[in-house]
Amino acid sequence: MTAKALHMSTLFLRTLREDPADADVDSARLLQRAGYIRKTAPGIFTWLPLGLRVLNKVEAIVREEINSFGAQEVHFPALLPKDPYERTHRWEEYGDNIFRLKDRHGADYLLAPTHEEMFTLLVKDMYSSYKDLPLTLYQIQTKYRDEFRPRAGLVRGRGFVMKDAYSFTVDADGLKAAYQDERDAYERIFKRLGVQYVIVHAVSGPMGGSESEEFLAPLAIGEDTFALAPSGKAWNVEALTTPEVPDEDFSDVPDMTQLHTPDSTTIDSLVDQANALHPKADGSAWTAADTLKNLIVTVKHPADADHDELWRELVAIALPGDRQVDMKRIEAQFAPAEVEEASPEDLASHPELVKGYIGPKVLGPQAEAAGIKHPIRYFVDAHVARGSAWVTGADTEGEHLFNAVYGRDFDSSARIEAVEVRHGDISPDGSGPLSFERGVEIGQVFQLGLKYSNALDLKVLDQNGKTVPVWMGSYGIGVSRVLACIAEYHHDERGLAWPLSVAPAQVHVMATGKDPKAFEAAERLVSELEERNVEVIYDDRLKVSPGVKFKDAELIGVPLIAVAGRDTINNGTIEIRRRDGSASQAVPIAEASSVVLEHLAALSE
C-alpha cells in the first residue's frame, strides 16, 4: 500500500493572510486561515479537503476506542418524526433550540440534537430478552441545534459532528459497567487526540437521569465553569455539594430575643439597624454573615401520580446573608421540577409570610408545630451549621430574631445547596478550598437509568421470566468540537501545530527556489515516503516564494517539515525540522526518508 502525496499545486486550498472578520477564537481563526473549514452560514461550516482529513482521523480514533469494548455502530437519519420526542416531552422541552419542520403532508419533523428516543425504540423493536443484553450502540453523525448565538467556530456551532452512544443493560450494575467502559474509552480517546481534559461531576441537565460526568477541556474560551479541588477532583457548579459542616457549640449563646428593627427589609438595612440599635455583646459589628435570609420560591412540579397536571409548591430556603442565591443550583435539586421566585400571588396565599421579615417561626417544623395549614417546607443551606446563631426574620413587621440558634430555636425540613459557590469554598471531598476554571465540554457520560425505557416502554424478560424495564446510559463526544479544542491546544502565533495522531499529513515537504536539483531531491523524498505509506503534503509550486511556502507550512501545521532549497542542496542535504521547533537538522538526501521515519516513530510514542 502506498499513500499518495497531496500536491500543493493542485490541492483545493487557499490560505488566508488575514483573520476572518468574525473568528472570535484561535481555532476558528486558524482553521479558516489554513483552509480546513469555511463558514457557510452562522454556526454552520463546510469541511475542506484538509479539514475532512483531520475530521476523519479524529473519527477513526473515536471509532476504534468505542469499538474496542464491543459497542456496535449504526446510523440514524438526522431528520426524524416528532412522535417519539413528544412521548418523552423533549419536543416541548427543547423549545427554540432545535430545528423543526413540516413535510409536504404537514407532519412534524425535527433535526435531532440527540437520539435517545430513537435508540430506545430501535432496541425495543428488535430485542425482548435479558439474553440480548448488555448492548451498546453508537453512531457518528452531523447533528443540528438552533443555538441562539453560535460562537467560537466549531466550539459552539449550529451543525456539529457528534458521536453518541447508548447502553442497554438489564440492571443498575450492568449500567455501571457499561458507563465505566465508555468512560475509560473517553480517557483513551482524549489522550490519543492530544486534548487535555478534566472529568467533572455533573448533575442531570435536560437529559434527565441519575449520574453523570462531563469531560471538560480546560480552556479560557469555554462557556462552562467547573470547580477544582486540591485533590484534582472536579465538579460542575450545579453538582457541587458542601461537605457536612461541624456542629457549633452554642452553650454560650444567650437566649433568642425578638427585637425592633424598623425599615430593615434588606440585608444591608438590617445590618445597619442592628448595629445602631442592638450592638453586639463583644463590641464587634454585625455583618451580613450574621444574618439568615429566608427566600420563598415556587417549585413547579410536573404532573405525577397524585397530580393530573403541573402543580405549584411554595418552599422557603434559608441562607447566610453574605451569600448570593444560585437559582440554577436550587433548581437542579428539585429536577425535573422548575423553580422560580415566588410571585406576589403565590405569597398572598400564605398570610403568615410577612414580606421582608420572613423567619423560621412560620416555616417547616415550626409551622407544623404551630398548626399552620399547608405548612411551607423549610430548607436550610448546607453552609449553615447546626448550633450556629443568627439574626433572622421574626414574622412580624419591623422585628427580627437575634441569637436564633439552628437546632435549638428552630429546625428545618431538609438541607439544600442554595448559594452561589465561590473561590475558597470547601470542596465536596473535603480536600481543601475550591478554585474555579473555564472549560469546553468535549464529552459527557450519563446514567439515564429508566427514564427513556419507562417513557417509551422498553422492557425485556429477565432471568425469572419477569418483564423489567431496561437500564440505559447515554454517552456523547462532540467530535468537531474536540477537533477545535485540539487546535486550541496545538498552535502558536504562526499557525496550527497538530499532534501526529490527527495531522492532515505526517510530513510537509517543500522545494524552494528555482534550482531543479531542489525539486529533484524533494521529489525523491516524497516518493520514498509514499512507498513507505507516509502521508505527505508536497509543496511543488513553481512560482511561489520560499517565504510564502514556509508561512503556509507553519500555518497548515503538519508535525514534520522537510525543506530542499538552495542552502541545503548545495550541501547535498535536506533540512528536517519539527513544526513545534523542538528539532532541526540537515541530513544527506539519501538518508532523509529514514530520518523522517525516526522522527515519526518518536512523535508517535
Binding site for its own copies (CB under 8 A): 10-12, 14, 38, 40-41, 44-49, 52, 55, 70, 72-81, 96-97, 99-101, 103-104, 109, 111, 118, 122, 125-127, 135, 137, 142, 144, 146, 148, 158-159
Q: Which cell goes with 219?
A: 480552556
Residue of 152, 121, 148 whose CA lies nearest to 137: 121
Closest approach of its own copies to the CB of residue 336, in Å: 23
| Closer residue to its own copies, CB minimum distance, 97 or 266 | 97
Judged by CB, which is closer to its own copies: 124, or 201? 124
Is residue 483 within 8 A of residue 496, CB to CB? The reply is no
Q: Min. distance of Cβ 74 from its own copies in angstroms? A: 5
What is the longest distance spanned by two Cα atoms in the chain?
Answer: 100
d(CA 295, CA 204) in angstroms, rounded, equals 24
- Least Cβ distance, residue 141 to its own copies (angstroms): 9
In the complex, least distance from residue 503 CB atom to its own copies, rounded to whole angstroms: 17
Phi/psi of residue 494, nearest 5 degrees: -95, -15
Q: How far is the CB of 556 from its own copies (least distance, A)?
A: 15
**What are the distances in angstroms from CA 450 to CA 31, 116, 183, 445?**
41, 12, 20, 15
By beta-carbon proximity to its own copies, the closer residue of 214 and 535 is 535
Report the DSSP beta bridge partners of residue 216: 198, 441
Please, which residue, 119 or 446, has the CB nearer to its own copies? 119
Q: What is the helix (H) or strand (E) element at residue 159, kind and residue range?
A: strand 159-169
Which residue, 24 or 103, is less far from its own copies as judged by CB?
103
Output the smallest distance, CB 166 to its own copies, in A. Answer: 11
Closest separation in Å from C-beta 10 to its own copies = 7
CB of 53 to its own copies, least distance (A): 9
Q: Rank residues 126 and 601 by Cβ distance to its own copies and give the closer one.
A: 126
Q: How far apart are CA 519 and CA 91, in angstroms?
A: 60
- CB of 103 or CB of 268, closer to its own copies: 103
Separation between Cα atoms, residue 328 and residue 97, nearest integer Å:
19
Are the C-beta atoms of 533 and 3 separated by less than 8 Å? yes
CB of 339 to its own copies, least distance (A): 25
CA 564 to chain centre: 45
Q: Which is nearer to its own copies, 134 or 375 (CB)?
A: 134
Q: What are the residues whose beta carbons fall under 8 Å from the beta carbon of 227, sequence distance 6 or more? A: 234, 235, 236, 237, 240, 421, 425, 427, 434, 435, 436
Residue listed under C-alpha cell 405569597: 347
87: its cell numbers: 412521548
CB-nearer residue toward its own copies: 29 or 329: 29
Q: Are the C-beta atoms of residues 473 and 463 closer than 8 Å to each other?
A: no
CA distance 28 to 43: 11
Minimum CB distance to its own copies, residue 465 (Å): 16
CA distances from 558 to 70, 204, 497, 537 (A): 33, 40, 6, 8
Residue among 403, 397, 415, 378 nearest 294 (CA): 378
Report the residue number, 104 or 374, with the smaller CB distance to its own copies.
Answer: 104
